[in-house]
Structure 1
Amino acid sequence: MNTPASASTIPDLVADVTRARLQAQPLPWPSTVPADVPMAYATALAVRGARSAGGERPVGYKVGFTNRTIWPRYEVYGPIWGTVWNSTLTQIDASAPNEGVLALKGLCEPRIEPEVVFGLREAPPPGCSLAQLVAAVDWVAHGYEIVHTHFPAWKFTAAQAVADGGLHGLLLVGHRVRLDAGAAPEAVMASLAGLRIKLYGDGVLKDQGTGANVLDGPVQALLHFVNELRATPGAPALQAGDVITTGTLTDAWPVAAGQTWHTEIEASGPLGGGLKGLKVRFE
């Protein structure tokens, strides 16, 4: 079992992460820093505390590397999680077109990830089943996470990715589909697992994916995260209103200012009529 880093090492790592984020510069770490994933989460939680003390507000979480098809490409072979902030979250109002504008300034080597996003009605009970988890969900949406890294050419260890904010940059959440309190869990799970998506960059088809790519379905990915969060020493408790994005359904694709990306979605079941394609323009 890995041992968390001693507290004396954390301030230096937090200073490095903060400097890299604010100056959009590479992190100066060799492959051995941080040495393991527990050390990385201790660092990430310390960064979370520092950012909160500075006035930013955590609003939820991103779950990364749930898509098994991309593990060999990045040499990260298991899911990780990080914090989403009020400063990094954009939500599209239901009365507006399902499209948004995001500024990429300050991000390093940004990439786009089409994902399924959940909003919690309440905190799921400890040791919850998939059915109990669905009952705790208030809404589902299609969104884009814009990931980035302070390690050049996207070369990092799992521990480095965790400490580097879980690679989170921005999150755009499209129109929400409300789940009734009595929604049939099996139908919701099947609808999301069977979802099919096409990702276009400037009108050109770049990639295709399915909900089953993320740990067999977004609900399953959400449950994995809920359990991992609760198993992480010092991690915050889930609460009503938390926004959680569950990992990319395709590979992550480089993006740049001036580009427009959009998706097309095919889904059946209870979410088939609600989840729509999403457009984003980058500045």
Structure 2
Amino acid sequence: MEASSIHNVARDLHRAARSGAPVSTLGTETLDLQLATIIAAHGREIAELEGDRVVGYKIGLTAAAVRNSFNTDGPVHGYLLESTLLEAGGSISTQQMSKPAVEAEIAFIIGEELNNPEATVADVIAATKSVAPAIEIVDSRWKGGPANLPLLIADNTNAAAAVVGEPVDLPADIAAATSLLTVGATEHPGSTETVMGNPLESVAWLARFLAQTADGLKRGDVILSGSMNVPAPLGDSQTATATISGVGTVSVNFH
């Protein structure tokens, strides 16, 4: 894939996130993980040139079953844009989304820089300022969705929007947290089993990865540690609420 084609794909995915018109996967047959990472980086640059900024990261494929479906051994990550991170109780337009789904997550707010390629759970605990209940909305800009891992990564791991609730101190038993996501009238229970068994492990993985490829976690970063439930299709539902034990409750409206 030529450099111009890589930039064009990044531009098209960026436009699709705003227009709701999905991008064809024709011509992406040769897309590999290296090229996908470059496309995602181009997409980030395009957003920043338009005045947006990265305020944190999301971690995906934290559930073993989902990793297996993408034939990969480890999780992946994407970036969170300021324009897509909303306050609790607000309203999100889904008009530009194709098939949005909703996830309950534990958000980590980083208080101290963590730039260590060997970061541990203890390091994450020391670097964490607080945690908060969060709802992530995921959506693919590819027509038909991401059929493979490179397509998922190129599209910033389906990041669409997120709502973060009131922060609280990090609970000592965070690894045992459970969740209840209510989308419309349907309830979706969950737990940290699908977040690498412990969200602290998930954030530690991200810290190690970023320390090797970028410059680690920074003070103020918001980290979505991974979905505690199977992504729930939004459908025609106009509300979603996530309650996470020991962390709190957050709600969002859709229009």
CA pair 69-24 structure 1, distance change in 2 beyond 3 A: same
Where 1:38 maps in the other structure, the secondary structure is helix
Instruction: Establish whether residue 250 from structure 1 lines up as the match of residue 250 from structure 2.
Output: no
Where 2:141 maps in the other structure, the secondary structure is coil
Instruction: Establish whether residue 116 from structure 1 lines up as the match of residue 141 from structure 2.
Output: no
Structure 2 match to 1:214: 195
Alignment RMSD: 2.2
CA–CA distance in structure 2, aligned partners of residues 31 and 218 of structure 1? 37
CA–CA distance in structure 2, aligned partners of residues 43 and 177 of structure 1? 36
Structure 1 match to 2:83: 87
- Answer yes or no: is the 8 Å Cα contact 2:137–2:161 preserved in 1: yes
CA–CA distance in structure 2, aligned partners of residues 125 and 155 of structure 1? 31
The Cα of 1:178 is off from its aligned counterpart by 3.1
Structure 1 match to 2:166: 175
CA–CA distance in structure 2, aligned partners of residues 237 and 6 of structure 1? 30
Aligned identity (percent) is 26
CA–CA distance in structure 2, aligned partners of residues 222 and 244 of structure 1? 7
Normalized against structure 1, the TM-score is what?
0.81
The residue correspondences of 1:1-283 to structure 2 (distance < 5 A) are: 7=3, 9-30=5-26, 32-33=28-29, 35-72=31-68, 74-75=69-70, 77=72, 78-92=74-88, 99-126=89-116, 127-179=118-170, 188=172, 191-205=173-187, 207-232=188-213, 235=214, 237-256=216-235, 258-266=237-245, 272=246, 275-283=247-255
**Higher Cα Rg: structure 1 or 2?**
1
CA–CA distance in structure 2, aligned partners of residues 282 and 71 of structure 1? 29
Gaps of 5+ in 1: 93-98, 180-186, 267-271
CA pair 172-17 structure 1, distance change in 2 beyond 3 A: same
Partner AA of 2:177 in structure 1:
L
CA–CA distance in structure 1, aligned partners of residues 136 and 65 of structure 2? 18
The Cα of 1:118 is off from its aligned counterpart by 0.5
Normalized against structure 2, the TM-score is what?
0.89
- Answer yes or no: is the 8 Å Cα contact 1:34–1:160 preserved in 2: no
Q: Which runs of 4+ in 1 moved over 6 A?
A: none
The Cα of 1:114 is off from its aligned counterpart by 0.5
Where 2:244 maps in the other structure, the secondary structure is strand
CA–CA distance in structure 2, aligned partners of residues 155 and 162 of structure 1? 9
- Answer yes or no: is the 8 Å Cα contact 2:103–2:181 preserved in 1: no
- Answer yes or no: is the 8 Å Cα contact 2:195–2:226 preserved in 1: yes
The Cα of 1:100 is off from its aligned counterpart by 3.7
Partner AA of 1:215 in structure 2:
M
Partner AA of 1:106 in structure 2:
Q
CA pair 8-142 structure 1, distance change in 2 beyond 3 A: same
Where 2:252 maps in the other structure, the secondary structure is strand
The Cα of 1:257 is off from its aligned counterpart by 5.1
Question: How many residues in Structure 1 have an aligned counterpart in Structure 2?
Answer: 253
Gaps of 5+ in 2: none
In the TM superposition, what whole-angstrom CA distance separates every residue of 1:176-204 from its partner, at most 9, and x where no partner exists?
Answer: 0135xxxxxxx73xx12211112222233
